[in-house]
Amino acid sequence: MKILHTMLRVGDLDKSINFYTQAFGMKLLRRHDYPEGRFTLAFIGYGDEEHNSVIELTHNWDTSSYDLGTGFGHIALGCDDIYAACEIARQNGGIVTREPGPMKHGTTVIAFVSDPDGYKVELIQI
């Protein structure tokens, strides 16, 4: 396994992209609108996603700001066998809160697990 990305919810996507690219020298790696879900995902980082962990900025179109307590989303881990990974997580105290399957408005196979403290971990089939 490897860490793929960390997701942050942002109120103004362009402002956030500008901040991370200008203040920290990151690059905008990809950006995609999901009109049916009314959100946009932008991935920023220091190098290609195949070899580097990145930050996912999620902009929900109808939300202009977040409390810090709700701003953090999840840690994402890439795995070869998402079904086995969910089972291993269960055996080690995790709670699968979303069984493996395609993401809404897309085809990527994902699952979500809550760790023993309630933090979310997204598993992504790679």
SS3 39: strand
Which whole-number Å values give the CA distances from 83 to 40, 122, 124, in the listed order? 27, 13, 10
Beta strands 95-102 and 109-114, pairing class: antiparallel
* Catalytic residue of the set 36, 56, 87, 122: 122
Tokens 């396994």 found at: 1
Let me know if 36 is a catalytic residue.
no
CA dist., res. 101 & res. 74, Å (int): 17
For the annotated catalytic residues, the residue numbers are: 122
